[in-house]
C-alpha cells in the first residue's frame, strides 16, 4: 500500500491532540523526539488504497522558533520528507491561526486545514465561507469537532485528495518590495548552487531572515554579506527590519483572508455601554 506521510501541525490549544486521538484511536504510538523529552505521537492507519501515516508535531505559533517545540516543528517541516501538511485551526480564532497557515503555505506542500472547534464557532454565531477560503488559499478545509469525532472521514478524504492532485497552496502576493527581494535571492542562490532545482518561498524567507541554525542544516551555499545587502533594502525604505516587515505582511494577508471569509454577528450596542 502506498504510504501518505502527513505532518500534523497547529497553534497550541486548537484541539490537535483531541483530533489526533479521534483519527488514530488505539493506533496511536507515543515516543520522544530524538534528543529531547518532547512527546512524539505517530499513527498509521489504512484508508482506501493508502496507509495514512500521521506524525504529530509540537504546537507552534510560528516557524521562527522561540521554543524547543517550535524548533522541532520548524526542523521537521523544512528538513524532513513528507507528503501533506494537516493544520488544525481553531475556527473561533481564525485570524491568528491563519497567520500560521500563511507560513505553512510558503512551504509549497499540499495542505489541508481542519477547521476545528466548529461547534464553538457556530455557537458564537460565526459563519465561515469554506468554499471561498478553499478557493482563495487553494487548500482543502474541513470543519471538525474533534471531541465529538465529527469530520474525521471527510478529513481523511481531503488528505487523499490533495495528495492525489498534488494540490499546492496558492502563492500569495507579498508586495512589490518583498517580491523584488525574493527574485534577487533566487538569482543569487542559483548562482551559488547550480544543482538547485526548486526552492520554496519558505526557504527564501529563512535565508532573508538569517535563521542560521536552519540554513546550516539545509546546506545551501550563499554569500551572507550579499544577502544582508539585499534584505537591508527593507530597512532603508520602510524603517523596520526585514523580520518585522515580513511579520506585518503575513498578518496583513491573514487579516485580509479572514475579512473575506468570516462573518461574525454584530456586537449589539447594549453590550458596549
Give me the residue whose beta carbon is nearest to ligand GDP: 15
**Per CB under 6 A, which of residues 40..59 are in contact with ligand GDP?**
59
* 21 annotated as a binding-site residue: yes
Per partner kind, with CB cut-offs from 5 to 8 A, the member of K ion, ligand GDP, none near residue 145 is ligand GDP
Compute the CA torsion angle 229, 230, 231, 233 (nearest 10 deg): 90
Q: Whole-angstrom Cα distance, residue 38 to residue 243?
A: 28
16: contact with ligand GDP by CB under 6 A: yes
Given ligand GDP, K ion, none, residue 46, with its beta carbon under 5 to 8 Å by kind, binds: none
Please report whether residue 116 would count as binding ligand GDP according to CB under 6 A. Answer: yes
Is the separation of the CB atoms in 144 and 19 below 8 Å? yes
From K ion, ligand GDP, none, interface partner of 247 (C-beta below 5 to 8 A by class): none
Chain position carrying cell 487523499: 160
* Contact of residue 138 among K ion, ligand GDP, none (CB under 5-8 Å per partner type): none
Site for K ion in 12-41 (CB under 5 A): 17
Range 185-193, long-range pairs (CB < 8 A, 24+ positions): 185/227, 185/230, 188/222, 188/223, 188/226, 188/227, 188/230, 189/220, 189/222, 192/220, 192/221, 192/222, 192/223, 193/220, 193/221, 193/222
Shortest distance, CB of residue 13 to K ion, whole angstroms? 7
Cell triple for 126:
460565526
Residues forming contacts to K ion in the complex (CB under 5 A) are 17
Residues forming contacts to ligand GDP in the complex (CB under 6 A) are 10, 12-18, 59, 116-117, 119-120, 145-147
Amino acid at each position: 500500500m502506498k504510504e501518505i506521510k502527513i505532518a500534523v501541525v497547529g497553534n497550541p490549544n486548537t484541539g490537535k491532540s483531541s483530533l489526533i486521538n479521534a483519527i488514530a484511536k488505539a493506533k496511536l504510538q507515543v515516543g520522544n523526539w530524538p534528543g529531547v523529552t518532547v512527546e512524539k505521537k505517530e499513527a498509521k492507519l489504512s484508508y482506501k488504497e493508502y496507509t495514512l501515516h500521521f506524525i504529530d508535531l509540537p504546537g507552534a505559533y510560528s516557524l521562527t522558533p522561540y521554543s524547543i517545540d517550535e524548533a522541532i516543528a520548524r526542523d521537521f517541516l523544512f528538513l524532513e520528507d513528507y507528503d501533506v501538511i494537516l493544520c488544525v485551526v481553531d475556527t473561533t480564532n481564525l485570524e491568528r491561526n491563519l497567520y500560521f497557515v500563511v507560513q505553512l503555505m510558503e512551504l509549497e506542500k499540499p495542505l489541508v486545514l481542519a477547521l476545528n472547534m466548529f461547534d464553538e464557532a457556530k455557537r458564537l454565531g460565526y459563519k465561515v465561507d469554506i468554499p471561498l477560503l478553499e478557493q482563495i488559499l487553494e487548500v482543502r478545509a474541513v470543519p471538525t469537532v474533534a471531541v465529538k469525532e465529527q469530520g474525521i472521514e471527510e478529513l481523511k478524504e481531503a488528505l487523499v485528495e490533495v495528495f492525489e492532485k498534488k494540490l499546492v497552496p496558492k502563492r500569495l502576493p507579498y508586495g512589490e518590495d518583498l517580491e523584488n527581494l525574493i527574485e534577487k535571492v533566487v538569482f543569487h542562490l542559483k548562482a551559488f548552487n547550480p544543482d538547485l532545482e526548486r526552492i520554496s518561498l519558505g526557504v527564501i524567507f529563512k535565508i532573508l531572515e538569517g535563521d542560521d541554525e536552519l540554513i546550516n542544516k539545509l546546506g545551501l551555499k550563499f554569500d551572507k554579506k550579499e544577502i544582508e545587502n539585499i534584505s537591508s533594502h527593507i530597512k532603508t525604505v520602510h524603517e523596520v527590519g526585514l523580520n518585522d516587515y515580513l511579520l506585518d505582511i503575513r498578518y496583513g494577508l491573514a487579516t485580509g483572508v479572514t475579512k473575506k471569509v468570516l462573518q461574525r454577528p454584530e456586537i449589539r450596542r447594549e453590550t458596549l455601554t
